[in-house]
Structure 1
Amino acid sequence: MTSRPAKGGGRWVSVAPERLNRWIDGFVDRHGPPSVTASDSVVRLQGADGAVAECQVPFPPLTSSGGGPMARLVTHVRTERRIGVLLVRLGGHAAGIFQGEELLSSKVGSRQVHGRSAAGGWSQRRFARRREKQVDQAHEAAAEVALRVLGPHVGELEAVVLGGDRRAVDALRPDRRLAPVFALEAEPFLTVPDPRLVVLKDTPAQFRAVRIRLSDPG
């Protein structure tokens, strides 16, 4: 479980699907029997002492059958889904298809992109043109990997989760070939280091987790 401050007060925690029942039991122990309300995207618990836990439903809408809101949320988050992942940072990229936590197929690559030059004059302009070309090549390489790994399977995917650097990902959006991939975009955006195979394999811990916003009593 991870925790961080939330805008507007409170804090966010991330809870693995397998630990959600225990987390709910702990909330009830600490704050008393909660009142529970649910929408397609949020299950809200308000403890007897006024504490609030807003559970964000991953890959909404919330499952419509299986008992009350909390039981449905637990069933929903434990459902195995086929999810595409595309990670892009400047000079590095990775794409993969997961069934639950299992990585079924993937491709990882990198392209060299030089840092910005502090030099001036003609040499700086030449360096800038060279770097711009490298950036374009890196984006093209990332797009090709996305097309190769995710493109043929968009009809099988429930969602595509993006991550890396937002600007690098956004640079791929104008590519019309990737429109079917971006049409499946789902939260959360994954903050990851350089996209390597080990990083890609670890992404289910983020995209399967339940994000919960906690507000203290009062």
Structure 2
Amino acid sequence: MPDRVLTIPPERLAAWLAGFARRHGATTHRAGPGAVVVEAADGAVASCAVPFPPLPHDDAAAPYGGLIAHAARDRRVAVLLVRRGGYAAGVFHGAALVTSKVGSRHVQGRTAAGGQSQQRFARRREKQAREAFEAAADVAARVLLPHAAELDAVVTGGDRAAVDHVLADRRLTALAALRDRSAGLPHLAVPDPKRVVLDATPATFRAVRITLSEPDITG
């Protein structure tokens, strides 16, 4: 049976692992800084990526090396979503949004025109994009930067190049450094960064990704 990748909310992790043991038999685990691998009596394996790595240590007295408690911890996380023409910035405590700002700037779409008209259009479009990124940087500086000292992580999403452009702003050096230290977290694939999209991001960045390998019992 091919491996499956599941995303489990931290609140459901203990119940999911208990169900895994019921279905497949007694389990053992190996805990590392980036993953906890759970092996069952029938050969099934659940490799649990540690959210907000690393896992501090393998606590032999805690279930699954302390993974459940680590995943359930409420963290203060900054989220920055950027696409051409749109941006959203917010600070979460656990799954609760503490502060946020969402905005947009018009950036023209591509055109099939050629020649000098195409060149003028490209220059105008790049100017609009640059102004949109500057607006996003202003918002990040106003909304996220005051919380930099208390943040556990910076999560980004949308257009990677656009995010990099925004975080290159000198004011945001602390956020860029924390984003780099949060490299174990996913870059979020999101549509236009509206408030409803920002509100939904904890379901992804807090989730535990589990690669599940189950024995083929058809033979």
Which residue of 1 is the match for residue 199 of structure 2?
A: 201
Which residue of 2 is the match for residue 106 of structure 1?
A: 100
Does the alignment pair 1:134 with 2:128?
yes
What secondary structure sits across from 1:189 in the alignment?
A: coil
Which residue of 1 is the match for residue 53 of structure 2?
A: 60
Identity %: 57
User: Displacement of 1:52 after TM fit?
Assistant: 1.4
What secondary structure sits across from 1:40 in the alignment?
A: coil
Distance in 1 (CA, whole Å) between partners of 2:214 and 2:34 is 22
Does the alignment pair 1:79 with 2:83?
no
Contact persistence 1:28–1:47 (CA under 8 A): yes
Which residue of 2 is the match for residue 13 of structure 1?
A: 6
Contact persistence 2:137–2:167 (CA under 8 A): no
What's the Cα RMSD here?
1.7
Does the alignment pair 1:152 with 2:146?
yes
Structure 1, 169-178 or 185-194: larger mean CA deviation: 169-178
Segments ≥4 residues shifted beyond 6 Å: none
Distance in 1 (CA, whole Å) between partners of 2:130 and 2:207 is 34
Distance in 2 (CA, whole Å) between partners of 1:83 and 1:173 is 16
Which residue of 2 is the match for residue 212 of structure 1?
A: 210
What secondary structure sits across from 1:45 in the alignment?
A: strand
What secondary structure sits across from 1:22 in the alignment?
A: helix
User: Displacement of 1:194 after TM fit?
Assistant: 0.8
Contact persistence 1:32–1:49 (CA under 8 A): yes
Distance in 2 (CA, whole Å) between partners of 1:85 and 1:21 is 26
What secondary structure sits across from 1:183 in the alignment?
A: helix
User: Displacement of 1:171 after TM fit?
Assistant: 2.1
Unmatched 5+ residue regions in structure 1?
1-8
What secondary structure sits across from 1:13 in the alignment?
A: strand
Contact persistence 1:43–1:70 (CA under 8 A): yes
Contact persistence 1:43–1:69 (CA under 8 A): no
Change (3 A) 1:66 1:192: farther
Change (3 A) 1:66 1:91: farther
Which residue of 1 is the match for residue 34 of structure 2?
A: 41
User: Displacement of 1:149 after TM fit?
Assistant: 0.9
Contact persistence 1:63–1:73 (CA under 8 A): no
Which residue of 1 is the match for residue 18 of structure 2?
A: 25
TM-score, length basis structure 2: 0.90
Which residue of 2 is the match for residue 3 of structure 1?
A: none
TM-score, length basis structure 1: 0.90
Count of residues paired in the alignment: 210
Structure 1, 192-201 or 56-65: larger mean CA deviation: 56-65
Contact persistence 2:167–2:175 (CA under 8 A): no
- Code of the aligned partner of 1:194: D
Structure 1, 181-190 or 69-78: larger mean CA deviation: 69-78
Structure 1, 57-66 or 17-26: larger mean CA deviation: 57-66
- Which residue among 152, 168, 171 is the counterpart of 1:174? 168
Does the alignment pair 1:162 with 2:156?
yes
Unmatched 5+ residue regions in structure 2?
none
- Code of the aligned partner of 1:87: L
